[in-house]
Structure 1
């Protein structure tokens, strides 16, 4: 998973399992954008090692 915060549009680019996604937001800050990206990836099957 790779996450890139778009500071101009307040969105976030997410690459997960070879597919790219853009979550438009707008998000209040980078932390909120990253959390949204992680949740998006969880819906696609990602499991955070810290949660197991």
Structure 2
């Protein structure tokens, strides 16, 4: 799946949360998430709610 230019998702291995950079704004989802995959899925869903329309690559 393709992210927008400048969109970043970084898993926080210490607190098991996820940092998000989306449209020049920073967000943090605290979790804890059971896995990195779950954290990234939550971050992507958060970005969808903010208007990201991902298209399959």
Structure 2: unaligned runs, 5 residues or longer: 1-6
Q: TM-score, with normalisation over the residues of structure 1? A: 0.93
Higher helix share: 1
Question: How far apart, in 2, do the equivalents of 1:8 and 1:44 lie?
Answer: 26
Higher relative contact order (CA 8 A, sep 6+): 2
Q: TM-score, with normalisation over the residues of structure 2? A: 0.85
Question: How far apart, in 1, do the equivalents of 2:13 and 2:34 lie?
Answer: 10
Aligned length: 50
Q: 1:12 aligns with which of 2, 8, 18?
A: 18
Aligned residues: CA RMSD? 0.4
